[in-house]
Amino acid sequence: ISQFTWEDPLASKNLLTEEELAISETAERYCQEQLQPRVLQAYRDEHYDPKILEEMGELGLLGATIDGYGCAGVSTVAGALITRAVERVDSGYRSSMSVQSSLAMGAIHDFGSPELKEKYLPEMAKGKLIGAFGLTEPNHGSDPGSMEAVAREHPQKEGYYLLTGSKTWITNSPIADVLVVWAKLQATGKIRGFLVNRKQCPAGTLETPAIKNKTGLRASITGMIHLEDCPVPKENMFPEVEGLKGPFACLNSARYGIALGVMGALEDCIDRARTYSLERKQFKGNPLAKYQLIQKKLADAATDAAYGTLAAIQVGRLKDQGKATPEMISMIKRQNCDRALHNSRVLQEIFGGNAVSDEYMIGRHVANLYVTQTYEGQSDIHSLILGRAITGVQAFV
């Protein structure tokens, strides 16, 4: 007879291959031994150590689902087990890794010319070159189709575009070597992707100031991208892809990684709340865990974590078979982020006043999970994507 395991109530491990289990263990060990001890100070100081990406690169954790170019070529589910391990420690660390792997490397891999792939992917897989992905603008977040960033033919220098515009809330931008920037080609009005190499930008044409004093995701670095007639060689424009489907193809992978990733943060909250409830005694020496209201909070959270994990594995399998639709990814991204945020907030109550101390770790997850529910499509935007698919009626405008 099988035993119920509170850490994995619906035995999701049974759905994983030997290779996936091994990758997950490697990632979990690295995260618990190397990242967990430094996250509290990093979050307090709002400091991101770029060496983390090099450490991840050495373990083969970056761009892990990409085949070739020094990447591991693992399954979609295995890639997301890595994000779950990282997010168990902190969503900010996962964010930095997701942008490197799914958004920057993913864009170059899916849409770059063979030369761009050879030139950038191997160094990015090692974490020696850091990537960023600039889609959101100060005036256009949920509606990136209205972006103002523009690329025009260089009037004097043949073979170059001049990029002008601003992007905001861009993970990794202050430390990025390689910035994937989406802008409208002036000649056609169509959105195109450009690889901006910081080293190739003349002084004053590219600025990437950090956004400081964040209330969440403080262990990652976030900034803006200001481009002022920045010359970019034409071969750095992604040759084939045009329109929003370029950035959204990359977002499908990143959103998928978040869907399983946030289950890691929620599981860490469950673990910590369970331990606390067994140790803390109130009323006649009883542990909090003895009280039914406390048990219900843990039961609700464990149920949502287990359901969310199974759903993510199912969509990951379909993705590898080419059968996952963007709506499926919207569904699991929305549901898992919403449930992780809601449950972490409820579990926070178990800690009483101690939840207010950052040393109990729970408040950091709650603050981070607000961000996960907001970026890569705020949950209500995913509701509208699903609503459109269900009714056939567009509700955005």
Separation CA 179–CA 197 (nearest Å): 6
For binding to ligand FAD (CB under 6 A), which residues are involved? 99, 133-136, 141-142, 169-171, 217, 222, 371, 374-376, 378, 380-381, 384, 396
List alpha helices for 112-202, DSSP H: 114-125
By CB under 6 A, tell whether 171 contacts ligand TGC: yes
By CB under 6 A, tell whether 159 contacts ligand TGC: no
What mask, x for binding ligand TGC by CB under 6 A, covers residues 231 to 260?
A: ------------xxx--xx-xx-x------
Q: How far is the CB of 313 from ligand TGC (least distance, A)?
A: 20
Give the 3-state secondary structure of residue 213.
Answer: coil
Strand partners, 194: 181, 237
Q: How far is the CB of 64 from ligand TGC (least distance, A)?
A: 16
Separation CA 312–CA 174 (nearest Å): 32
Q: Please state, in angstroms and as integers, the Cα–Cα distance from residue 162 to each residue in 30, 182, 224, 264, following that order.
A: 42, 13, 18, 42
For residues 298-319, one letter each, b for 16 or more C-beta atoms within 10 angstroms of the residue's C-beta and e for the rest, the string is beebbebbbbbbebbbebbeeb
Q: Which of 20, 28, 267, 376 is catalytic?
A: 376
Q: Which residue is nearest to ligand TGC (CB)?
A: 326
Q: Which of 135, 219, 241, 361 binds ligand TGC (CB under 6 A)?
A: 135
Note the maximum CA span of the chain. 82
Q: How far is the CB of 28 from ligand FAD (least distance, A)?
A: 24
How many other CB atoms are there within 10 angstroms of residue 384's CB atom?
17
Q: Which of 65, 136, 309, 335 binds ligand TGC (CB under 6 A)?
A: 136
Cβ proximity to ligand FAD, 211 vs 318, nearer residue: 211
By CB under 6 A, tell whether 15 contacts ligand TGC: no
Candidates 260, 257, 247, 276; CA nearest to 347 is: 276
Q: Pairing between strand 222-233 and 160-171?
A: antiparallel
Cβ proximity to ligand FAD, 60 vs 92, nearer residue: 92
Q: Do 227 and 152 touch, CB atoms closer than 8 A?
A: no
What mask, x for binding ligand TGC by CB under 6 A, covers residues 137 to 156?
A: -----xxxx-----------
| Whether 207 is catalytic | no
Q: How far is the CB of 204 from ligand TGC (least distance, A)?
A: 26
Residues that bind ligand TGC (CB under 6 A): 95, 98-99, 133, 135-136, 142-145, 171, 243-245, 248-249, 251-252, 254, 326, 375-377, 381, 385, 396
- Active site (catalytic) residues: 376
